[in-house]
Structure 1
């Protein structure tokens, strides 16, 4: 808010409440329309940027965004309400999306396939609608895909979109983000909706594998996009159905005519590939959480919470409750965030600090912090008293795995046997195995029920 004090408190009729983002050419504010009492995002661009040609090009693209997105009304597209100019600013008043860019949620690990499919359905539905209304986005990438608190995708930033039957963009202009650009964009050719499908294919590849298919310098990316076929996704993520490879590589075909004819066809092929794998196919698409880190050495410095002595145990006990608490604050995306943060957190204190950063409201953050403190206290080990030494953790065997699979099948169906079979070689002891397979249960209540029953299994089952 200190930055906001140095800037106008109002633009046109809109009251400025906070800065959402800032760039070299403008600022995005959270604003309020007092006439209809609606919170929205106000994207602004300066009229005078020093270079007249650069200013005119930027303003042209800015108006293009308003014209392109302004004609689209779809639940998976950020709505544009108004374009206007005030003083030395041009602005677009648009829907305020309470969420985060997809680029902040994806990392170097594959995303769970059900989540990937949900996001791709939203993206392809938005593209099908956009293309049907004559708008090609031309810059589909994770940074332009906003994930709402309920886990839905909204496509934003139509700043370089091409509107059919207009002269707003010139053939030969290379606009876009290199790693997600189609071959025809690099060649400066006229493009159509199939260019967006190529970019969507790049996004899908990244979500499935944790890697972009084309990376490096702009020159290296261009060479790869024009001449290189990336490895099939299942080679980088062996848990994927092999049928997905043809879908992804089809979307990444060099020639537009070799790709899907439209976004609806792309989605149909994607759903068919997953359905073809079937719950009994050994090439299941389950993405397992990496094995929990080994316990710290006895000589390691203890954390403030005293929970670093056995990381597997505290994570196993804490994750279901943490997910329930975080979901109440930020919605279904909580599970994905928690998986990524917990996998690297060395102790509960570090996990707690990173989770608090995900809560935007100070009041909600304080309530969440109090809940975390109570959970941390409940998890803290009690002082060891005299008594027999606890037996060493036992490695899970096939019999234990079979018993576990029967319990897991109640929650996730026949695929449970595959999940357990794949997890067994990765788990050094039984608690680690429980942590791995429990991650495949979407519902927090179901996961907690499974863990409670699994801990009661006869060790020699």
Structure 2
């Protein structure tokens, strides 16, 4: 895709990166000279008018859900690139949390709680409407120049659920997919809790993922290291990461409350019983 290409009123200027569903560019408005980000969905086949129309409807639905923490969709453009591709226009962010991890730049601890609380607030807004994000990961948590986070790519997991699936998920995405779920599984509220626990673990440990391998058979026997975490926070994250549905948090609010309680020196009795790091075992390896 040539950088001189024009999409709608926007001229592509610079490639920012690639994700599971498409390629992101910096673009400039020909009319206003404003710079934006454009995500061209070139990893999925939407050449048929029916598929393209369905994907556009999902994107329009995502654009209609507005909250200060949800990165807005400014416009959806139906292009004629390679027989028909969709392009999503968004405000240009300074970076993503994933950029910091990829560059080996741990985020200073003084910023951790604000980032975590902001992401929780955005997810809770969605969950209150019975909408799952389905694709939470560091590259989908953006920050502006003031360090304020927003969550992007709400539509992507829902487009995959419709059946428009790229050939393969990135390794990072596989680490954030709920245990025993597929890349194109229907987005679930419980899966968002798993992804959030994965993100918090990675943030607090300076970029380390909780599991060495994303495969289910590894997750079910491997206990994430407590290195860099307080014992109580580690216990809460273990519960957030568990594959055992009967022991999982019932909802996002319960996870968030237990996480904040851990910071104050207390955790839920069930978390302490099954996931306490004061013992040598947890529900990740007991009663399998």
Same topology, TM > 0.5:
yes
1:56-109: CA deviations, max 9, x gaps? 699578536623531221122110122121333422222222x11112223768
8 Å contact from structure 1 (residues 128, 264) kept in 2: yes
Aligned-pair Cα RMSD in Å: 3.7
User: Which residue does 2:142 correspond to in 1?
Assistant: 146
1:122 to 93, 97, 118: 118
8 Å contact from structure 1 (residues 232, 249) kept in 2: no
2:211 to 191, 210, 214: 214
The alpha carbon displacement at 1:158 in A equals 3.0
User: Which residue does 1:32 correspond to in 2?
Assistant: 29
8 Å contact from structure 1 (residues 136, 196) kept in 2: yes
1:72 to 53, 57, 65: 65
Gaps of at least 5 residues in structure 2 are 267-288
Higher share of residues assigned helix: 1
The alpha carbon displacement at 1:273 in A equals 1.0
The alpha carbon displacement at 1:265 in A equals 2.6
**Given the alignment of the two structures, is residue 182 of structure 1 paired with residue 178 of structure 2, yes or no?**
yes
2:240 to 230, 240, 251: 251
8 Å contact from structure 1 (residues 102, 143) kept in 2: yes
8 Å contact from structure 1 (residues 61, 160) kept in 2: no
1:96 to 92, 98, 103: 92
CA distance in 2, matches of 1:83, 1:75: 20
**1:37-436 alignment runs, 5 A limit:** 39-45=35-41, 59=52, 63=56, 66-88=59-81, 89-97=85-93, 99-106=94-101, 111-162=107-158, 168-169=162-163, 177-186=173-182, 191-210=187-206, 211-216=208-213, 221-225=215-219, 227-233=220-226, 236-237=227-228, 240-276=229-265
8 Å contact from structure 1 (residues 130, 136) kept in 2: yes
8 Å contact from structure 1 (residues 16, 31) kept in 2: yes
The alpha carbon displacement at 1:256 in A equals 3.8
The alpha carbon displacement at 1:191 in A equals 4.9
8 Å contact from structure 1 (residues 41, 95) kept in 2: yes
Aligned-partner SS, 2:37: strand
The alpha carbon displacement at 1:159 in A equals 4.6
The alpha carbon displacement at 1:16 in A equals 2.0
Gaps of at least 5 residues in structure 1 are 278-461
State the aligned residue count: 253
CA distance in 2, matches of 1:169, 1:188: 7
CA distance in 2, matches of 1:127, 1:257: 22
The alpha carbon displacement at 1:161 in A equals 2.4
Superposition misfits of 4+ residues, deviation over 6 angstroms: 107-110, 173-176
8 Å contact from structure 1 (residues 119, 153) kept in 2: yes
Bigger Rg over Cα: 1
- The 3 A distance-change label for structure 1 pair 194 and 69 is same
Q: Calculate the TM-score normalised by the size of structure 1.
A: 0.47
Aligned-partner SS, 2:40: strand
Q: Calculate the TM-score normalised by the size of structure 2.
A: 0.72
User: Which residue does 1:16 correspond to in 2?
Assistant: 11
CA distance in 1, matches of 2:145, 2:256: 23
Aligned-partner SS, 2:101: coil
CA distance in 1, matches of 2:45, 2:41: 15
8 Å contact from structure 1 (residues 17, 31) kept in 2: yes
8 Å contact from structure 2 (residues 169, 183) kept in 1: no
